Amino acid sequence: MAFKVEQALHMVGGAGETSYATNSRIQEKAIYRTKPILETAIAELYGKLLPERMVVVDLGCSSGPNTFLVVSEVLGIVGDLRRRLEQKPPEIQFFLNDLPGNDFNNVFRSLERYEKMMEEEKGDLLVPHYVVGAPGSFYGRLFPCNTVHFFHSSYSLMWLSQVPQGLESEQGVPLNKGNIYIAENSPPQVVKAYQEQHRRDFSTFLKSRYVELSIGGGMVLTFLGRKSEHPASGELSYLYGLLAEALNAMVSQMTDDVIKYIIIDVKREGERNHGLYICLGPVAWSSAAAKHDKLLKDRHK
Ligand X SMILES: C[S@@+](CC[C@H](N)C(=O)[O-])C[C@H]1O[C@@H](n2cnc3c(N)ncnc32)[C@H](O)[C@@H]1O
> C-beta of 33: minimal distance to ligand X in Å?
11
Among 68, 94, 139, 277, binds ligand X (CB under 6 A): 139
Q: How many angstroms separate the CA atoms of 181 and 190, rounded? A: 9
One of 159, 202, 223, 285 touching ligand X (CB under 6 A):
159
- The C-alpha atoms of residue 250 and residue 271 are separated, in whole angstroms, by 21
Name the nearest CA neighbour of 61 among 1, 165, 142, 119: 142
Does the footprint of ligand X cover residue 168 (CB under 6 A)?
Answer: no
Query: Can you tell me which of 72, 102, 106, 186 binds ligand X, judged by CB under 6 A?
Result: 102
Applying CB under 6 A, which part among 92-100, 185-193, 225-233, 243-251 lies near ligand X?
A: 92-100
* Closest CB to ligand X among residues 74, 250: 74
103 lies in the site for ligand X, by CB under 6 A? no
Q: Is the dihedral of CA 224, 225, 231, 237 positive or negative?
A: negative
Contact of 220 with 38, CB cutoff 8 Å: yes
138, 59 contact by CB (below 8 A)? yes
Q: Tell me if 106 contacts ligand X by CB under 6 A.
A: no
Q: Which of 68, 95, 104, 138 is the binder for ligand X (CB under 6 A)?
A: 138
Q: Stretches 23-31, 38-46, 191-199, 286-294: which one binds ligand X (CB under 6 A)?
A: 23-31
Q: Residues 3, 51, 62, 237: which binds ligand X (CB under 6 A)? A: 62
Confirm if 165 and 193 have CB atoms less than 8 A apart: yes
Which listed range, 59-67, 85-93, 249-257, 276-284, lies at the site for ligand X (CB under 6 A)? Answer: 59-67
Supply the DSSP string of 123-182, one letter for each residue.
Answer: GGGSPPEEEEEEES-SSS--S-TT-EEEEEEES-TTS-SBPPS-SB-TT--BSSTT-SS-
Residues 6+ apart with CB under 8 A from 281: 8, 265, 268, 269
- Toward ligand X, which CB reaches closer, 123 or 282? 282
Which three-class secondary structure state does DSSP give residue 58? strand
By CB under 6 A, name the binding residues for ligand X: 6, 9-11, 24, 27, 31, 60-62, 66, 97-99, 102, 137-139, 154-156, 159, 161
